[in-house]
Chains A and B, each alone.
Chain A
Amino acid sequence: MKCNIQEARFVVLDSELTGLDEKKDSIVSIGAVRMRGGRIELGDSFYRLINPETSLTAASVVIHEIMPSEVSEKPSIETVLAEFLKYCGDAVLVGFCISIDMDFLSRETRRLFGSCISNPAIDIRPLYEWARQKEEQRGSSAALPRQYRLYDVARHFDIQVSSAHNAMVDAYLTAQIFQRLIPILVEAGITSIGDLTKLSDRLKGGDWLFASHNTCSL
């Protein structure tokens, strides 16, 4: 926890789901990329499609463009999750509205392996809100719509957003946003992983969680 942000190991992840119902829906794909401090390790990314145990709904197919035929041949969640947990090691997990990903991942981990994921998890969204408010106080930020998504944040940072859309692409976008946030965090005195999780937890209270759930809807 004392580890310096600029030296720490992160895994930035995104998962795609058949729906948002924790009881019924399941994980379709996991994308992740490693970061060492602010450096994104492009050569060492993780992307797997999973054969979902629940059927793909028409609604999710529209969003992810993952057709049932594409995943039916893919490995089961058990295989992929084992691989993914190994990939994560003890890195700090980072995501955009990560609580949803963590809910599903933890549920499956508990179900399959009988234990939770204990890695610290950092949500980019409230961090971004926090950074943006700091900017607004200095009057240097353009206003954002009340409702916004990952792509809006990416565009705010002038990060190139491709038309393709999957867990890997989104995890990469998230990593690039996090990359931009790190210098701002460091400048604000948030230099260790301890500081970062504390800030992240503090921001999670109140409206943040609501806001997350409200606007992270896929």
Chain B
Amino acid sequence: MLVEEVKGFLKNVPPFQFLEERSLSFIAEDISMEFYPKGATILRQDGPPSDFLRIIKKGGVKVFITSDDREEVIIDYRSEGDAFGLLSLVGGDKSRANVVAVDDTICYLVGKEKILSLVDSNPLFTEFFLKSFLNKYIDKTYREMHNKSLLYGGGDKLLFTTPVGEVATKDVMIASQDITIREAAEIMSQRRNSSLVLVDQGGVPTGIVTDRDLRDKVVAKGRDVSDSIGRIMSVSLIRAEARDYCFEALLKMIRYNIHHLLVVDEGRMRGIVTNHDLMMLQGTSPISLAREIESQQTIEGLIPASGKINNIIGLLLKDGARASNITRIISEINDRLQRKIIEIVEKKMGTPPVNYCWIIFGSEGRKEQTFKTDQDNALIYADLTSGDEEGEVERYFSEFSILVRDGLVRCGFPVCPANYMASNPQWCQPVKTWKKYFSTWIYTPLPEAVLRSLIFFDFRPLYGDVTLAEEVRESMKSILEGEMVFLGYMANTIIKNTPPVGFFKSFIVEKSGEHKDKLNLKVKGIAPFVDMVRLFALEKGIKETSTSERISALRSRHTILNEYADELEYAFEFIMLLRIQNQFQQIESGQPPDNFINPNNLSNLEKKTIRDAFALISKLQSILVERYKPLIW
């Protein structure tokens, strides 16, 4: 009869309210109850794991982590009806956080076995915990993974958790855009400020002037200082939302090569953030590296800068960055490095005979590079007209791409073993040849050809005449439209890469060789997601090339993807981070980074998450089989 009272309570509490009577009775039959006076510690970080899921009947608790320098990081407050202890219960190794009663608190306790069996058998129940519980925790879980490495302590202000609004300079100097250059400079020097925001009569910001503008556009050009300031201000005011995280601002600065961002909150100006502000937040920064790359004039000069990219990854990991953010920043920096190399080579060789576009594909094309990956690049040059000397053009681009290749190698991008590089004449071709390549792959799909061409479908322009790349893409898109046979070939390749069978019992891993007993994360974890999302993107003619951008773009347009988008993002993100983490540890210990991980080194939680990811792959594969039924052999 005491149990009836508990059931009555649970019927109003998610996710238990989703349970049918039978499951509810199953839980309630050995439920127990504890009381914790205000201030009592219920679970202790790094202490023994919880054997119970605790549901707060009355009172409230604080969930927090103590960082290495004794700083309290509050994760959450939980109150009546909320539960805690699930992660350590599922993980089974230790408690992940401190839980302290903030009031006299009574909890119902549900035993570990009951919860685990519900998690395995009840999809609604599991979904609730996966979505709300784990998502709430996801960033903290990542941080916990990072803290494994002794290299990292907690405590420094986090680039990824600090909103821009918090570091922005609030009292921004504003002046009318109608004042003269001299007046503007006077205001700036009086107030010792390096920037001035200019507004129109309505007070709406219209531009910004910085010390650099005064130097470059006025002094160096000998411009009349009685000119209106409006004539030299930078009008393309790039904005950051006050609630954006600092790294977003950083990305914008790197992308647009600027040092100031206007911080707005719901359209209204809140302040200015400078790269200096962000660097102060961070110590060293990706943007300083980007600038270092920018200022180099020779390949020799680029080599030390390129060596620092690994440090940046370490820094980002330390900051608790999510995998997709790390890869975005790394792509941004690698892009700059590669562009600089091409620029230097171009300068050395002289103006090219015709326009060209340097494209990258594979993981570079998807902006999913972690540590230096093999070169995957190609060159598209404009179709020749009667006046062009064919031999000369070929000679130029052949020499050009060999120089770029060697420059890339010197800066740490190893050659592609399969020779997917512009230096291979096959991949250094005019627009019309590229169009033919794609039409051949699509119209007459052969298994090897499909396999080989897959990575080309992730191409994006890196340097040169972007319209050439766009022309090839448009042509590819129109050829693809309704080409079910080709898409069917792709579906076939995808479903062949099955997740490790029997994974739910134990890890199926490499059976022999150097990587015996290890799991290939790239082939078994990352490739299935990348390939599936690419197929969906091609079905819908989406032009995005990165997996996460494709997922976002497809959400509203693709029914299957829309249904699984959250799970996909979560699973992909998790495996990517696991891979980066693993590679970084390898580099730190002087080994070459690879894609193999030893499952024994994973925590139970990590294992469970991987298992969930594999289950998701299986599920999506069977949906694909259904969708492409007539084309599956």
Q: Which residues of A contact B (CB under 8 A)?
A: 33, 36, 38-45, 47, 158, 168, 172, 176, 179-180, 183
Q: Judging by beta carbons under 8 Å apart, are B35 and A47 in contact?
A: no
30 contacts between A and B (CB under 8 A): A33-B2, A38-B34, A38-B35, A39-B34, A40-B33, A40-B34, A41-B30, A41-B32, A42-B3, A42-B5, A42-B6, A42-B31, A42-B32, A42-B33, A42-B108, A43-B3, A43-B30, A45-B1, A45-B3, A47-B1, A168-B1, A168-B2, A172-B2, A176-B35, A179-B33, A179-B34, A179-B35, A180-B35, A180-B37, A183-B37
| Residue of B with least CB distance to A178 | B35
Residues of chain A within 8 A of B37, CB atoms compared:
180, 183
Given contacts A42-B2, A47-B1, A168-B2, contact A183 B40 (CB under 8 A): yes
Asked if B561 is an interface residue, CB under 8 A from chain A, the answer is no
Residues of chain A within 8 A of B104, CB atoms compared:
158
Q: Among B31, B34, B35, which residue has its beta carbon within 8 angstroms of that of A43?
A: B31
How far is it, in angstroms, between the C-alpha of A180 and the C-alpha of B6 when the chains are bound? 19
Residues of chain A within 8 A of B35, CB atoms compared:
38, 176, 179-180, 183
Residues of chain B within 8 A of A39, CB atoms compared:
32-34, 109
Q: Judging by beta carbons under 8 Å apart, are B29 and A43 in contact?
A: yes
In the complex, the 6 A-B pairs of residues with the closest C-beta atoms, listed nearest first: A43-B30, A40-B33, A42-B2, A179-B35, A41-B32, A43-B29
How far is it, in angstroms, between the C-alpha of A158 and the C-alpha of B104 when the chains are bound? 10
Residues of chain A within 8 A of B28, CB atoms compared:
42-43
| Residue of A with least CB distance to B6 | A42
- The distance from the CB of A87 to the nearest CB of chain B, in whole angstroms, is 14
Residues of chain B within 8 A of A180, CB atoms compared:
35, 37
How far is it, in angstroms, between the C-alpha of A10 and the C-alpha of B40 when the chains are bound? 22
Within 8 A of A (CB), among B3-48: 3, 5-6, 28-35, 37, 40
Residues of chain B within 8 A of A183, CB atoms compared:
35, 37, 40
How far is it, in angstroms, between the C-alpha of A39 and the C-alpha of B108 when the chains are bound? 9
Most-contacted residue by chain B among A33, A42, A44, A45 (CB, 10 A): A42
| Residue of B with least CB distance to A45 | B2
Q: Which residues of B contact A (CB under 8 A)?
A: 1-3, 5-6, 28-35, 37, 40, 104, 108-109
How far is it, in angstroms, between the C-alpha of A40 and the C-alpha of B1 when the chains are bound? 14
Residues of chain B within 8 A of A168, CB atoms compared:
1-2
How far is it, in angstroms, between the C-alpha of A110 and the C-alpha of B33 when the chains are bound? 34
Q: Judging by beta carbons under 8 Å apart, are A40 and B40 in contact?
A: no
Other CB < 8 Å A-B pairs besides A44-B30, A179-B33, 7 of them?
A: A39-B109, A40-B33, A42-B3, A43-B30, A45-B2, A168-B2, A180-B35
| Residue of B with least CB distance to A158 | B104
Residues of chain A within 8 A of B31, CB atoms compared:
42-43
- The distance from the CB of A74 to the nearest CB of chain B, in whole angstroms, is 16
| Residue of B with least CB distance to A160 | B58
How far is it, in angstroms, between the C-alpha of A213 and the C-alpha of B1 when the chains are bound? 29
Residues of chain B within 8 A of A33, CB atoms compared:
2
| Residue of B with least CB distance to A31 | B1
- The distance from the CB of B42 to the nearest CB of chain A, in whole angstroms, is 12
Residues of chain A within 8 A of B6, CB atoms compared:
42
Residues of chain B within 8 A of A42, CB atoms compared:
2-3, 5-6, 28, 31-33, 108
Residues of chain A within 8 A of B40, CB atoms compared:
183
How far is it, in angstroms, between the C-alpha of A80 and the C-alpha of B1 when the chains are bound? 18
How far is it, in angstroms, between the C-alpha of A168 and the C-alpha of B1 when the chains are bound? 8
Residues of chain B within 8 A of A179, CB atoms compared:
33-35
- The distance from the CB of A163 to the nearest CB of chain B, in whole angstroms, is 13
- The distance from the CB of A181 to the nearest CB of chain B, in whole angstroms, is 10
- The distance from the CB of A125 to the nearest CB of chain B, in whole angstroms, is 19
How far is it, in angstroms, between the C-alpha of A202 and the C-alpha of B16 when the chains are bound? 46
Residues of chain A within 8 A of B3, CB atoms compared:
42-43, 45
How far is it, in angstroms, between the C-alpha of A33 and the C-alpha of B3 when the chains are bound? 11
| Residue of A with least CB distance to B40 | A183
How far is it, in angstroms, between the C-alpha of A47 and the C-alpha of B34 when the chains are bound? 21
How far is it, in angstroms, between the C-alpha of A36 and the C-alpha of B52 when the chains are bound? 14
How far is it, in angstroms, between the C-alpha of A41 and the C-alpha of B28 when the chains are bound? 10
How far is it, in angstroms, between the C-alpha of A183 and the C-alpha of B108 when the chains are bound? 18
Residues of chain A within 8 A of B2, CB atoms compared:
33, 42-43, 45, 168, 172
| Residue of B with least CB distance to A33 | B2
- The distance from the CB of B53 to the nearest CB of chain A, in whole angstroms, is 14
Residues of chain B within 8 A of A47, CB atoms compared:
1
Residues of chain A within 8 A of B109, CB atoms compared:
39
- The distance from the CB of B26 to the nearest CB of chain A, in whole angstroms, is 10
How far is it, in angstroms, between the C-alpha of A158 and the C-alpha of B103 when the chains are bound? 13
Most-contacted residue by chain A among B29, B30, B35, B109 (CB, 10 A): B35
Most-contacted residue by chain A among B1, B3, B6, B30 (CB, 10 A): B1
How far is it, in angstroms, between the C-alpha of A36 and the C-alpha of B31 when the chains are bound? 12
How far is it, in angstroms, between the C-alpha of A44 and the C-alpha of B109 when the chains are bound? 13
- The distance from the CB of A117 to the nearest CB of chain B, in whole angstroms, is 24
Residues of chain B within 8 A of A158, CB atoms compared:
104
Residues of chain B within 8 A of A45, CB atoms compared:
1-3
- The distance from the CB of B114 to the nearest CB of chain A, in whole angstroms, is 10
| Residue of A with least CB distance to B25 | A43
Residues of chain A within 8 A of B30, CB atoms compared:
41, 43-44
Residues of chain A within 8 A of B5, CB atoms compared:
42
Residues of chain A within 8 A of B33, CB atoms compared:
39-40, 42, 179
Residues of chain B within 8 A of A43, CB atoms compared:
2-3, 28-32
| Residue of B with least CB distance to A34 | B32
How far is it, in angstroms, between the C-alpha of A42 and the C-alpha of B106 when the chains are bound? 13
Residues of chain A within 8 A of B32, CB atoms compared:
36, 39-43
- The distance from the CB of B517 to the nearest CB of chain A, in whole angstroms, is 41
